[in-house]
Structure 1
Amino acid sequence: MVGRLILVLGDQLTDELSALREGDPSRDIIVMAEVMGEASYVPHHPKKIAFLFAAMRKFAAHLEAKGWRVRYTRLDDPDNTHTIPGELIRGAAETGAVEVLATEPGEFRLIAALEECPIPVHQFPDDRFLCSHAEFDQWAEGRKELRMEWFYREMRRKTGLLMEGDQPAGGKWNYDHDNRKPAPGDIGFNGPLRHRPDAGTEAVLTLVASRFAGNFGTLDPFWFATDRDGALAALDHFIAHALPRFGDFQDAMLDGNRFLYHSVISMYLNAGLLGWREICEAAEGAWRSGKAPLNAVEGFVRQIIGWREFMRGIYFRQGPDYTRMNALGHDRKLPEFYWTADTAMRCVSRAVEQTRDEAYAHHIQRLMVTGNFALLAGIDPHQVHEWYLAVYADAYEWVEAPNVIGMSQFADGGIVGSKPYVSGGNYINKMSDYCKGCSYEVGEKSGDKACPFNYLYWAFLHRHRDRFGRNPRMAQMYRTWMAMSDDRRQASLDSADAFLARLDRSAPV
């Protein structure tokens, strides 16, 4: 007797899924589908599409080996309806099922689509995360400010990670001040573990190359793991070879080394191939066994049980209109060089090139290069949001939107951060080697040869003085601005106006 359909989405590739726990392999049927509706609502990077399709196919085979019946629709199935609700309707018509079990998706867009599906869909909480919606709301209720640091401490207490009794290991909650070193001359790590595509993955690559040839991003070489064993191997590789120095250089950027000591496992975690607890316990184990220093492990764990969980809490607490917030009134069109890398600003060009080739850039490249420029230049934050959602293999709206709308673009007016993350060229020069050989001079503050980040920074502060002038975290910046001579301030504003005018008419910059 046919029971119910169980929906498994492409970012829910785990046996620990709540909808699977509610199901019965003897009578329920799993539905998985590669559909254009999900593959094209933004122009996703081909590597992300290939990763998810290959991982979905392997997870479907894994479920079948465990005794589940799986109704799997491939992208090139001529009967594919190309939407998730459409495939549920088709599956119900073919099997006689009258109900669907699902784990709550990570995007309001898809939650709404399931709610509107003609077949009843029971959405169970996604309890793969540490903090439920209700728990986050309870923590947030009544607080004047929602700050990640205080939330993170609660998550440390809840999990016991890096705790010594009721106190943080080493006596401090946060070792971020130890984790901001510029990149050394030599990186003793060859990057994340690279996997050779098997025959199944090669078939997906061929499909993606033919169907998404016009999308931003290169498909080859493709080296992502596409099953749990490969993801676990990538985690082990990072813990053994990169974690010990991850903390020191996690904010650094090098033109000749795209990965430094970063783990590059977020796409596995966000797709379900890895879980937060096993990742954090592996890192904690490295510290307790003396194989990695506390500053590195704490910084890594904070990103997962602190920042990642905080972002999800913000997204679901703020609701579906969050991505349309625009507190600063920015409305400039996203420059074409975010897709072409054709700009004389070497840092931006290199970050976009890396994104194009790898579907990856680390958090400082995203925040302080491409994000910083967009904020300084007054780019429409919704366009910035959709770019980030499209181009990174680890991007899903629940995690990407608060990072962009909130942290990067300050479009939420301070829900995520207490101040905007803006800087001039000096910060990029300190933390990278991008400025060497750039067409612009990072030491110049105004004029045609000056680094655009320099004068755009001061113009941003000037433009938004009414909002930020009394912010205690920005007081020193405004004192510096006001201490400049009238001529110097005007030169910065004139340079910014001239640059933005070129940007608006799509002239080379």
Structure 2
Amino acid sequence: MACLRLLLGDQLDPEHPWFAAKRDDVMYVLMEMRQETDYVLHHAQKILAIFAAMRRFASQLREAGHRVCYLAIDDPANRQSLPDNLTRLLHQHGASELEYQAPDEWRLDQQLRQYAAQQAIAVRCVDSTHFLTTRDEVARFFGSRGSERWTMEVFYRYMRQRHGVLLEPDGAPMGGRWNFDAENRKPWPGDPPEPPDLRPTHDHSVLWQTIRDAGVASFGDPDAHALRWPLDRAEALQQLDAFIEHGLPDFGDYQDAISAQASRLFHSLLSFALNVKMLSPREVITRAEQAGRQGLAPLASVEGFIRQILGWREYVRGVYWAQMPGYEHNNAFGHTRPLPQWFWTGSTRMACVRTAIGRSLANAHAHHIERLMVIGNFALLAGLDPHAVHQWYLGVYIDAFEWVELPNTVGMSQFADGGLLATKPYISAAAYLHRMGDHCGRCPYRHDQPTGPRACPFNALYWDFLARNADQLSANPRLEMPYRQLARMPASRRNALAQQADALRCNLEAL
């Protein structure tokens, strides 16, 4: 055997150039490892879906005529670590070469670089060919402009122009604007109805029992008898088709809405398929743009969806590689409180938080406003340790791989990097949650009360957060209005809010 080619669990791309031709002297290697299940506590569905997708990918490679070595989690020969397994397999197969696709997580990139440096045989790293940018492109883009502050919007316009997306023949943006975000902030009134969930259902109870018997720890509902996540490219393409037809037309209007009645609303749920590379960002962007040009979805919906992929997804990856290692330890506000136990159970009386965390535990998924403006908002206002928040987000969400999750959590959600990623903390009092959702009528707390036993905790925590962090935040132009409101408050009200916030933070478990 001349060459072993390593495939990681998020490199399930049958369109990669590696597979264009069959070679008898190449063996593809996939491994289920405790190294990957145990570095953080993961949601059961995340482990199950990735393993099931890996197994199907290996089977499809074999059917296509490729040679495959698959190490299952319960294989007695599995040493449960990447370097140890590679060493054994290289020796076992007498390989003279090792190739791997560039990992997307810094820890794996460093592990493989160090391993390669220790080998006597040739070791080559190739591009995954998945992303629209190189690792360092965002840093080079802003560095070439001498920019002190990085902003996604500037980079997004560059990406639109570079890739010719949503442009008129003269290069102007379609509709005369680059960004239609102001039109995409409507609460959902219940109509149009949430589209049907057309994803396939998989019974992987046998695999789940294997995972449990192997001693892998997890949390959340495995849903092993009815797993709804795509396990190969064909299923991911079907999900993309369903979203373009049923979700995209209304996605823009209600992308920021939250509802106790509908967990998916009009979101695509394509992030898992994208992040394990069953789909390419380019083809998803192209399909959305085609729908817009054919009049199948309004421009505001199409632009808002494309911005998440062409703009934000590529941007946060660039921030990740520019800031690693060490980005995960940022803590601009010095927050140290541990996560309340209800992060693992969903048992809190706050209706919006209970729903968002409950869905996360049940589905390994929550849409971006539930993650950012409900769970993340509360975590920041309550002063939870951002590293602990990061580890929870990395574990609970099926689409969470560190390159995308870490900047979104530490940078955008918790503002723990001091404003490197985001231009302001994404915080709100109860008024925003009441305006954008339908939870407040079912909540024991009152959204319109700032203090008192029935006051929504978001209210006092919000104003106290601003007051406590005025030295860091009051000069931020995007927070000018709330700081003006805070300055006009009587001292007695500010003191009452501070006392209420202190009591809430000391009693988070009871909320």
TM-score under structure 1 normalisation? 0.95
Query: Which one of 21, 36, 39 corresponds to residue 38 of structure 1?
Result: 36
Residue of structure 1 equivalent to 2:275: 270
Q: Deviations over 1:24-44 (max 9, x none)?
A: 722121110011110121111
Task: Supply the distance in 2 between the matched residues of 1:152 and 1:209 (Cα, whole angstroms).
Answer: 43
Counterpart of 2:124 in structure 1: which amino acid? H
Counterpart of 2:227 in structure 1: which amino acid? F
Counterpart of 1:285 in structure 2: which amino acid? Q
User: Is structure 2 residue 156 aligned with structure 1 residue 152?
Assistant: yes
Query: Which one of 161, 174, 193 corresponds to residue 165 of structure 2?
Result: 161
Residue of structure 2 equivalent to 1:99: 97
Q: Deviations over 1:394-432 (max 9, x none)?
A: 000000000001000011111111111110011111111
Residue of structure 1 equivalent to 2:13: 14
Give the count of matched residue pairs.
502
1:83-162 matches, within 5 Å, as: 83-117=81-115, 118-119=118-119, 121-141=123-143, 142-162=146-166
User: Is structure 2 residue 210 aligned with structure 1 residue 204?
Assistant: no
Contact 2:136 2:318 in 1 (8 A): no
Share of identical aligned residues, percent?
44
Q: Deviations over 1:282-335 (max 9, x none)?
A: 111111111111000100000001000001000001111111111111111111
User: Is structure 2 residue 190 aligned with structure 1 residue 192?
Assistant: no
Task: Supply the distance in 2 between the matched residues of 1:444 and 1:152 (Cα, whole angstroms).
Answer: 40
Partner of 1:163: helix, strand, or coil? coil
User: Is structure 2 residue 54 aligned with structure 1 residue 50?
Assistant: no
Q: Deviations over 1:218-270 (max 9, x none)?
A: 01131112111111001101111111001000110110211001111100000
Residue of structure 1 equivalent to 2:402: 397
User: Is structure 2 residue 473 aligned with structure 1 residue 468?
Assistant: yes
Counterpart of 2:348 in structure 1: which amino acid? T
Counterpart of 1:160 in structure 2: which amino acid? G
Task: Supply the distance in 1 between the matched residues of 2:123 and 2:400 (Cα, whole angstroms).
Answer: 25
Give the C-alpha shift of residue 188 in structure 1.
2.1
1:478-493 matches, within 5 Å, as: 478-493=483-498
Counterpart of 2:94 in structure 1: which amino acid? G
Residue of structure 2 equivalent to 1:82: 80
Contact 1:46 1:209 in 2 (8 A): no
Give the C-alpha shift of residue 102 in structure 1.
0.9
Task: Supply the distance in 2 between the matched residues of 1:203 and 1:140 (Cα, whole angstroms).
Answer: 50
Task: Supply the distance in 2 between the matched residues of 1:103 and 1:324 (Cα, whole angstroms).
Answer: 27
Partner of 1:126: helix, strand, or coil? coil
Counterpart of 1:389 in structure 2: which amino acid? L
Residue of structure 1 equivalent to 2:430: 425
1:170-319 matches, within 5 Å, as: 170-197=175-202, 201-211=204-214, 215-220=218-223, 221-319=226-324
Contact 1:115 1:121 in 2 (8 A): no
Task: Supply the distance in 1 between the matched residues of 2:78 and 2:382 (Cα, whole angstroms).
Answer: 43
Counterpart of 1:30 in structure 2: which amino acid? Y
Q: Deviations over 1:437-462 (max 9, x none)?
A: 21111110012211010000011001
Report the CA distance shift for 1:114/1:24 in structure 2 as closer, same or farther (over 3 A): farther
Contact 1:267 1:394 in 2 (8 A): yes
Task: Supply the distance in 1 between the matched residues of 2:193 and 2:422 (Cα, whole angstroms).
Answer: 34
Give the C-alpha shift of residue 381 in structure 1.
0.6
Give the C-alpha shift of residue 113 in structure 1.
1.4
Q: Deviations over 1:436-492 (max 9, x none)?
A: 121111110012211010000011001100011111111111110110111111110
Counterpart of 1:375 in structure 2: which amino acid? L
Query: Which one of 60, 63, 67 corresponds to residue 65 of structure 1?
Result: 63
Contact 1:191 1:260 in 2 (8 A): no
TM-score under structure 2 normalisation? 0.95
Counterpart of 2:239 in structure 1: which amino acid? A
What stretches of structure 2 of length at least 5 have no aligned partner? none
Give the C-alpha shift of residue 83 in structure 1.
1.3
Contact 2:139 2:322 in 1 (8 A): yes
Task: Supply the distance in 1 between the matched residues of 2:19 and 2:211 (Cα, whole angstroms).
Answer: 32
Counterpart of 1:180 in structure 2: which amino acid? R
Q: Deviations over 1:13-65 (max 9, x none)?
A: 013446x2799722121110011110121111111111111111111122222
Aligned-residue Cα RMSD (Å) equals: 1.6
Counterpart of 2:206 in structure 1: which amino acid? A
Counterpart of 1:148 in structure 2: which amino acid? M
What stretches of structure 1 of length at least 5 have no aligned partner? none
Contact 1:425 1:454 in 2 (8 A): yes
Report the CA distance shift for 1:26/1:211 in structure 2 as closer, same or farther (over 3 A): closer
Contact 2:136 2:321 in 1 (8 A): no
